[in-house]
Chains A and B, each alone.
Chain A
Amino acid sequence: MSWLLAHNVALVLLIPAASVGVLAALPDYRVSAAVNVIASLLTLVAAASLFAARPAADAYFLVDDLNVVFVVLSSFVGFTTSIFSASYIGHELETGRLTPAYLRFYHAMYQTMMFGMNLALLVNNIGLMWVAIELATLATVLMVGIYRTHEALEAAWKYFILASVGIAFALFGTILVYMSALPIVGEGLQGMTWTTLVAHVRIFDPALLSVAFVFLFLGYGTKVGLAPLHAWLPDAHAEGPTPISAVLSGLLLNVALYAILRFKMLMALNSDTISPGPLMVVMGLVSLIFAAFMLYRRRDIKRLFAYSSIEHMGIIVFAFGMGGPFANFAGLLQMTMHSLTKSAIFFTVGHVAQVKGTQKIAEIRGLTVTHPLLGFALLLGVLAIAGVPPLGIFMSEFLVVSSTFARAPWLAIALVFGLLIAFGALLLRVQGFAFGEPTGSTAPVRASYVPIFAHMALVAGAGIYLPPMLVAWFQHVAAMLG
């Protein structure tokens, strides 16, 4: 136990890194799916132990209250997704959409992505963080294209090009931050270390830092999927394997958001820079309202929920843009709830699409009749994501709206408008999925219900009762975010 606590940061990174090699070498897909689950579980255990003990910040790693939340959330969703993935790929293999050789590659890339994300979250260096996010992105690009259909290739290509342009802007912003630190902290690694930057940012050149933030926000904002930089997101979600849609929505968007939040904290310490708030509020609101309207025109079930992810990232960025302890708390809660709910929805949608053999909304009807458990899980998921009380997302959205009403009523009206539009679209669609004349196959499905219902139980539970420990933790992080 004490050994675990002493090495938990290293373990969070080493377990995925080591399993990449193992998974690339294992020929049998059943064994590698099991190894994938075990590795994800061990990573989760190591990540959870960060709550109990954490090393002091050194030149390479920084563990504080903020990134522990992100690391634990992503290892948890990574673990549940690996369980879902094990049953999902079995079906893909049977239908011949994937071959065992591709599965080897798929599992290795899955852990590469987990490694990249955990590294990005834990590292104490803005340059290394950039490298890690790039690594995670490339791994997902390869997985999005894994089916090699027309649509999958187009989606992967679009994702790759847009993500690369975004990541190029982010690197330019990173270089500008280093340049602004150069006269004060000197040359070398110091100028890229978070803790050093935070300690000295008060006397950095504000103009240079402001321009840097604009580039960083646009760059990492592309990966968060903010409109109008979102074009890659629906394609990548719809055409890749569904476990990847779940981790894209549940995790990778959060990691990019984490980068933006870190830089926002940096900016907040230097009073002469531009304020990041208005920029984030505007982009968040635009994404929310745009995605809400786009929800009505979707014909593909995975695209529908991809646009819903854009909508929710919009709400989250909006909340963090408003700032202050109340709105930040709401943003953190919304992010957690969205990750859990959206990945549960994608697990369900993955099984639904497999059993019905289609992703077209028009061809999926009457699920509660043909597959009651899946149908009601999807219904519950959509109700949760639309923000029906008393589920978790209702609570976090309520907090966002009420904190906004107190400070900027006009913005709150726009926010509520967007939420209602999205609410209408999702309810309209879910009626079709869940009820109505049953269509398609009624064959029984071997679904992994445990991850779906574990996530939904957490979301439903959080809507009714939040443990005081969690509340205190989030309040502290919200205060840190300023």
Chain B
Amino acid sequence: MHGLNFDVAHLLAGSLVLVSFMMLYQDRLYALLNVFALHAVVLSASVAWQAYIHDAPHLYITAAIALLFKAIVIPIALHRMIVRLGIHREIEAVGSIGPTMLAGIGLVGLSMAVMLRVTADSDLLAREDLAFALAVLLLGLLIMVTRRNAVSQVVGFMSLENGLVLAATGARGMPLVVEISVAFSVLIAFIVIGIFLFRIRERFDTVDVQALDRFRGERR
């Protein structure tokens, strides 16, 4: 039953998890953005392959959005923003790389253990996709919690959204409305975040979120 179709889909979805791992240990902003672009390219390929094997042409649109918007437009825009803000130096991870990677492995193990067990009746490809998607989602969360920099938190959030797109395409015949909305929410999210980043710059001269935490509303 494991035809070429399944193998390629499996390979692409698995690669997405792998690229998520690569994002975990990038400690420079530029490198993080480049890996995120790769993440989006892999996602796009994965979605396009699903569109091909399920004969669902509307998924090509999702793939195109992932490729154009997430792999090209956003990384370039963030790249420029980083240059303009002058923060292209190192980004600090909260934990060291070793424990972070171990935590990531734990999360992937968790998502496999949960999703593969509960989807025993679904078709094999959907099971794999959902398990990988949950892994990407949790790794995205891990990226967000281990970073203190607003730009890398945004990147973590977008990789999390990539996991959602993978899950949505894995669920066969899921109405288009949801896929577009995911893409659209990313767009809005980006605009919102963009505005915020510039406002943060305007007010704080830094995009380090830790600096924000000092401005608690409840100073004595």
Task: Report A's interface with B, CB cutoff 8 A.
Answer: 127-128, 130-131, 134, 138, 141-142, 145, 148-151, 153-157, 160-161, 164-165, 168, 171-172, 174-176, 178-179, 182-183, 186-189, 191-192, 205, 207-208, 210-211, 234-235, 238-239, 298-300, 303
Q: Which of A172, A175, A299 contacts B174 (CB 8 A)?
A: A175
Across the interface, name the chain A residue whose C-beta is closest to B54.
A187
**Shortest distance in angstroms between B173's beta carbon and chain A's nearest beta carbon?**
3
Dominant SS among interface residues on chain A: helix
**Shortest distance in angstroms between B81's beta carbon and chain A's nearest beta carbon?**
16
- Cβ contact within 8 Å between B177 and A128: yes
- Cβ contact within 8 Å between A299 and B122: no
- B150 beta carbon closer than 8 Å to chain A: yes
Interface flags for B180-195 (1: CB within 8 Å of A; 0: not) read 0110010011001100
- Cβ contact within 8 Å between A164 and B217: no
Residues of B within 8 A of A187 (CB): 172-174
A172 to B122 CA separation, bound complex (whole angstroms): 16
- Cβ contact within 8 Å between A211 and B114: yes
Residues of A within 8 A of B120 (CB): 207
Interface flags for B158-182 (1: CB within 8 Å of A; 0: not) read 0011011001100111110110011
Q: Which of A157, A164, A176 contacts B200 (CB 8 A)?
A: A157
25 contacts between A and B (CB under 8 A): A138-B192, A145-B199, A148-B203, A151-B217, A153-B200, A154-B217, A157-B200, A160-B193, A165-B144, A165-B160, A171-B164, A171-B182, A172-B137, A172-B164, A179-B126, A179-B130, A182-B126, A182-B171, A183-B122, A187-B174, A189-B175, A207-B120, A208-B119, A299-B218, A303-B218
Given known contacts A182-B171, A183-B122, A131 and B181 CB-to-CB distance under 8 angstroms = yes
Residues of B within 8 A of A179 (CB): 119, 122, 126, 130, 171
Q: Which of A154, A172, A174 contacts B212 (CB 8 A)?
A: A154
Q: Which of A127, A134, A161, A303 contacts B217 (CB 8 A)?
A: A303
**Shortest distance in angstroms between B114's beta carbon and chain A's nearest beta carbon?**
6
Across the interface, name the chain B residue whose C-beta is closest to A156.
B196
Size bracket, chain B contacts: 35 or more
- Cβ contact within 8 Å between A210 and B118: yes
- B26 beta carbon closer than 8 Å to chain A: no
Can you list the 10 inter-chain pairs with the closest CB atoms, starting with the nearest?
A: A187-B173, A150-B215, A207-B118, A127-B178, A154-B212, A131-B181, A151-B217, A175-B167, A208-B118, A211-B118
Residues of B within 8 A of A134 (CB): 181, 185
Q: Besides the contacts A174-B178, A205-B121, A207-B119, what 12 more A-B pairs have beta carbons closer than 8 Å?
A: A127-B175, A127-B178, A142-B192, A148-B199, A149-B203, A150-B215, A172-B163, A175-B130, A175-B164, A179-B171, A208-B119, A210-B118
A174 to B167 CA separation, bound complex (whole angstroms): 10
- B157 beta carbon closer than 8 Å to chain A: yes
- B90 beta carbon closer than 8 Å to chain A: no
**Shortest distance in angstroms between B194's beta carbon and chain A's nearest beta carbon?**
12
A154 to B133 CA separation, bound complex (whole angstroms): 30
**Shortest distance in angstroms between B184's beta carbon and chain A's nearest beta carbon?**
8
Interface flags for B1-45 (1: CB within 8 Å of A; 0: not) read 000000000000000000000000000000000000000000000
- Cβ contact within 8 Å between A154 and B215: yes
Residues of A within 8 A of B119 (CB): 179, 205, 207-208
- Cβ contact within 8 Å between B203 and A150: yes
Task: Report B's interface with A, CB cutoff 8 A.
Answer: 114-115, 117-122, 126, 130, 133-134, 137, 141, 144, 150, 153, 157, 160-161, 163-164, 167-168, 171-175, 177-178, 181-182, 185, 188-189, 192-193, 196, 199-200, 203-204, 209, 212-213, 215-218, 220
Q: Which of A131, A172, A182 contacts B173 (CB 8 A)?
A: A182
Residues of B within 8 A of A160 (CB): 192-193, 196
Residues of B within 8 A of A192 (CB): 174-175, 178
Given known contacts A168-B160, A171-B182, A172-B134, A153 and B203 CB-to-CB distance under 8 angstroms = yes
Across the interface, name the chain A residue whose C-beta is closest to B160.
A168
**Shortest distance in angstroms between B124's beta carbon and chain A's nearest beta carbon?**
13
**Shortest distance in angstroms between B102's beta carbon and chain A's nearest beta carbon?**
22
A208 to B126 CA separation, bound complex (whole angstroms): 13
**Shortest distance in angstroms between A476's beta carbon and chain B's nearest beta carbon?**
32
Across the interface, name the chain A residue whose C-beta is closest to B179.
A127
Across the interface, name the chain A residue whose C-beta is closest to B114.
A211
Q: Which of B153, B173, B174, B216 has the most CB of A within 10 A?
A: B174
Residues of B within 8 A of A303 (CB): 217-218
Across the interface, name the chain B residue whose C-beta is closest to A209.
B118
- Cβ contact within 8 Å between A157 and B161: no
- Cβ contact within 8 Å between B188 and A138: yes
Residues of A within 8 A of B189 (CB): 164
Given known contacts A151-B215, A172-B134, A235-B217, A141 and B192 CB-to-CB distance under 8 angstroms = yes
Residues of A within 8 A of B167 (CB): 172, 175
**Shortest distance in angstroms between A85's beta carbon and chain B's nearest beta carbon?**
22
- Cβ contact within 8 Å between B204 and A168: no
A156 to B150 CA separation, bound complex (whole angstroms): 13
- Cβ contact within 8 Å between A161 and B144: yes
A127 to B184 CA separation, bound complex (whole angstroms): 14
- Cβ contact within 8 Å between A178 and B164: no
**Shortest distance in angstroms between B155's beta carbon and chain A's nearest beta carbon?**
13
- Cβ contact within 8 Å between A157 and B150: yes
Given known contacts A168-B160, A172-B137, A157 and B204 CB-to-CB distance under 8 angstroms = no
